[in-house]
Amino acid sequence: MSRKNQTLGEFIIENQAAFKYSSGELSKLINAIRLAAKVVNHEVNKAGLVDILGAAGDTNIQGESQQKLDVLANEKFIHTLANREIVCGIASEEEDDFIQINSADNNHQNKYVVLIDPLDGSSNIDVNVSVGTIFSIYRRVTPIGTPVTLEDFLQPGRKQVAAGYIIYGTSTMLVYTTGHGVNGFTLNPAIGTFYLSHPDMQFPETGKIYSVNEGNYIHFPEGVKQYIKYCQREEEDRPYTSRYIGSLVSDFHRNMIKGGIYIYPKSSANQNGKLRLLYECNPMAFLAEQAGGKASNGFTPILDVQPEELHQRVPFFCGSRKMVEKAEEFMRNHSD
């Protein structure tokens, strides 16, 4: 029975039997992510004191300018996961291709692959706005004992065995699911321990917040434009409040607690949307559904989308169930 102020370690041990696969490896993997999160949290919190702010001078596979903390977070998570010898492969938003992990003594015996966005919202780093890490875990589908292949990473979101995020904000929280609800753990920085602070997190059925970059309004599909007008209309339960941080983790976290919808649609500038299916949308969609919310591309549940490439982008509608359903109604009625 989980209880508030239980440590993350205690929670993992107590709930291990509820995991679909209870060999202990998934528990070790969550613990490795916890360790890497504490290291990155330490670096993020001293970002203004040492020379890790600003651009690194490189671009990632998406053609986006990498920040110094992007590179650091990527290195820390890959190093921690690889050294624990509990994953057989890692795919990162910051890497061109997936990484095969093997050690001389286990001969590709590990069962899990991890997909990760090491530092979501990194454009906000220099202005001290909350950023985060997003992770997604699958069991490999290729035979154990062989090197992982692309097939192990291109699995639909419904195949996830765990997913979550770490938000580095006024407090640092690790929020995750293994398919049995969503729980949030807050870091006590004095002793470096995560404690259960938000058990059984749930999206309100509806809310009053819509999160979308309205600066791109002119480029949006007609269905999104009409939904935004609906949100702004003076009615009994409206207008809604516009809140957009520009960090998916931060916007999602607020909306899950207060009730709201996050939208990053396709546009004339980004025909396939901008968010990555494997590193951002699938893990957040898994969390949303486990918390009673909903996530889609405007027409189809995100978790049912079959990935076709490692860095695939998709439109994303995610949040309180009734709000997402209303947005989908507008998309259907004004489909191009």
- In this predicted model, what pLDDT tens digit does every residue of 23-55 receive, in sequence order? 677 888 888 999 999 988 887 776 554 444 445
Distance CA(166)–CA(77), nearest Å, equals 12
> Which of 155, 178, 198 lies at the terminal end of a domain, its last residue?
198
Is position 168 within any domain? Answer: yes
Residue 135 and residue 86 share a domain: yes
> 71 and 182: one domain?
yes
Residue 58 has pLDDT above 70, yes or no: no
Give domain status of residue 52, yes or no: yes
Alpha helix segments (H runs only) across the chain: 8-14, 25-45, 68-83, 222-232, 248-258, 282-290, 321-333
pLDDT band at 66 (very low <50, low <70, confident <90, very high): low
Boundary-marking domain end, from 170, 198, 226:
198
Residues 128 and 253 in one domain: no
DSSP string for 174-221: EEEESSS-EEEEEEETTTTEEEEEE-S----SS-SEEE--GGGGGGS-
Q: Which has the higher per-residue pLDDT, 129 or 46?
A: 129
Closest CA to 106 of 146, 63, 163, 72: 146
Work out the pLDDT band at 57, boundaries 50, 70, 90: very low
Could you tell me which residues are annotated as the binding site for substrate? 120-123, 213, 244, 274
Which pLDDT score, from 0 to 100, does residue 49 have? 47
What pLDDT, on a 0 to 100 scale, did the predictor assign at position 130? 84
Task: Give the mean model confidence (pLDDT) for residues 318-331.
Answer: 98
Annotated binding site for Mg(2+): 93, 117, 119-120, 280
Q: Give the per-residue pLDDT at 53.
A: 46
Which residue would you say has higher pLDDT here, 169 or 200?
200
Question: d(Cα 252, Cα 288) in Å, to the nearest integer?
Answer: 9
Residues 151 and 251 in one domain: no
Check if the beta carbon of residue 324 is closer than 8 Å to that of residue 296.
Answer: yes
CATH of the domain at 97: 3.30.540.10
Q: Are 130 and 245 in contact (CB under 8 A)?
A: yes
Angle at 73 between CA 71 and CA 79, to 5 degrees: 100
Residue 289 in this model has a pLDDT that exceeds 50: yes
Q: Residue 122: which pLDDT band, with cuts at 50, 70 and 90?
A: confident
64 within a domain of the structure (yes/no) = yes
Residue 204 lies in a domain: no
- Give the pLDDT score at 124: 72
Q: In terms of domains, do 194 and 223 share one?
A: no
Q: 66-70, 80-84, 223-227, 267-271: which has the highest mean pLDDT? A: 223-227
49 and 119 part of one domain = yes
Domain around 270: 209-333
Top pLDDT among 123 and 243 is at: 243
Contact at 8 Å (CB) between 40 and 133? yes
Q: How many domains does the chain have?
A: 2
Please tell me whether residues 23 and 50 are part of one structural domain.
yes
* 68 and 167 within one domain: yes
Residue 305 lies in a domain: yes
Q: Which of 133, 164, 198 delimits the end of a domain?
A: 198
Q: Is there a single domain that holds both residue 96 and residue 230? A: no
1 in any annotated domain: no
Phi, psi of 72 (to 5 degrees): -65, -45
pLDDT per position as a tens digit, 75-115 = 999 999 988 878 999 999 999 999 998 766 667 788 999 99
The answer to whether residue 2 sits within a structural domain is: no
Same domain? For 218 and 177 the reply is: no
Q: Nearest CA to 189 among 168, 161, 163?
A: 168
Q: What is the CA radius of gyration of the chain?
A: 19
Which pLDDT does position 47 carry in this prediction? 57
Q: Is residue 133 part of a domain?
A: yes
Half-sphere exposure (CA, 13 Å, Cβ side) for 240?
A: 22
Domain co-membership, 47 together with 194: yes
19 pLDDT above the threshold of 80: no
Same-domain pairing of 258 and 306: yes
Based on the number of CB atoms within 10 Å of its own CB, is 113 exposed (0-12), middle (13-18) or buried (19 or more)? buried
Name which of 159, 155, 87, 90 is nearest 118 in CA terms.
90
Annotated binding site: 93, 117, 119-123, 213, 244, 274, 280
Question: Using an 8 Å Cβ cutoff, are 115 and 99 in contact?
Answer: no
Kind plus residue range of the DSSP H or E element containing 157: none
CATH number of the CATH domain containing 224: 3.40.190.80
